[in-house]
Homo-oligomer: A and B are copies of this chain.
Amino acid sequence: MHGSIEEGRSGLLPPGEGEVLRLPAPLPLDCGRTLESVDVAYETYGTLNEDRSNAVLLCHPLTADQFAGRDHPVTGKPGWWSYLIGPGLPLDTDRVFVVCANVLGGCMGSTGPASLDPETGRPYGLGFPVVTISDMVRAQAALLDALGIGRLLAVVGGSMGGMQALAWAADFPERVRNAAILASAARHTPQNIAFHEVGRQAVMADPAWRGGDYAGEEPPKAGLAVARMAAHVTYLSEAALEEKFGRRFQDRASLGYGFDADFQVESYLRHQGSSFTDRFDANSYLYITRAMDYFDLGSGEALSERFSGTKTRFLLASFTSDWLYPTPESRRVVRALHGAGAAVSFVELRNDRGHDAFLIPDPAFEAVLEGFLGTAMREAGV
């Protein structure tokens, strides 16, 4: 069977790994339904200070999880932001207490479609309610309540994590002193939706998906791998692909005149697709992409109004070669925040890595984040 399903450890989180908190109260959702029983799996880095003023919530992107600053228990690889989390690093664990929680609907221990539905005693599958970015934020807020953290020093996130950071600032303004939104947007464009829909259809086209009811059976790995491949192309820039792979061959000197992976880029993509299926649940992929597609904080004045009266200090950063959440989407947010009278820093970073730039070491990016968080720490006296 794919993953472990036991009380408080749903999805693919290995037994005995990480922290999981059962929320003390039911969680109401945007769709109108309520989840009676919700687990939130999370990791922390650093120490919460006495007056609980040094907590930073780090929000993860689509296919990452709470293992941002330590080796991943499934893949064994370093945490996805481990180069930014630690003593003396931008998320300086000598000074701040970083909390990172697996999103609602995820598959690394938080309640999601692979969790047991208390009403049926079977995994939810498609019986799981469709959740939104604001629902994810509401679950995180309940986790912070349980940890005794009222106001956050900062909420930080890239891509879908940035959407959560924006939703935090909009939904809980009094709890967010600073918000860093990286390579992100205030809404999903039709092109963003289109690419996600391709991925969902790839999963659903796999007979092993069984209408989402594959618990206890072989999961729809082939469909999920195709979905991952399609998405992965959108994370990379043309320049990055050109530099990493060009038209170079894999394991041969010339064309193979067949359908094996002739080109390095093909081999790379196939590996990205197949390895993904070991650490991600297909139904979670459907639910999380759906949440992102549903995300839309509004346009123009309506977007400004979501932040009216905000005291939060904002950083928005975009990357020149990111064509998935390009700079104009960040500028839209910046304009709306200016309209709301918010304190906003905005920087477009020259970087040819594409959307994934926010996951790759880059001195200029690190300096921006360090500067923003350094000021936040000084102003809060931590």
Contact = CB atoms under 8 A, between A and B. Distances in A.
Interface of A: 30-32, 126, 129-130, 187-191, 193-195, 197-198, 200-202, 204-207, 222-223, 225-226, 229-230, 233, 236, 238, 241-242, 244-247, 255, 257-259, 261-263, 265-266, 269-270, 273, 286, 290, 293-294, 296, 323
B293 A263 contact: yes
Contacts of A296: 247
A318 to B, nearest CB: 15
Given A257-B31, A286-B259, A294-B255, A225 B247 contact: no
A272 to B, nearest CB: 10
A205 B247 CA distance: 24
A237 B143 CA distance: 41
Contact of A205 (B187, B189, B204, B225): B225
Q: Is the interface of A mostly helix, strand, loop or mixed?
A: helix
A115 to B, nearest CB: 18
A295 B89 CA distance: 47
B194 A233 contact: yes
Contacts of A236: 191
Given A189-B242, A226-B226, 4 more contacts: A191-B236, A194-B233, A201-B269, A201-B273
B245 A225 contact: no
17 contacts: A130-B257, A190-B247, A191-B238, A193-B247, A193-B263, A193-B266, A194-B233, A194-B241, A197-B229, A197-B263, A197-B265, A197-B266, A198-B229, A200-B259, A205-B205, A205-B222, A207-B207
A206 B261 CA distance: 18
* Residue among A204, A269, A286 with most chain B CB within 10 A: A269
A130 B258 CA distance: 6
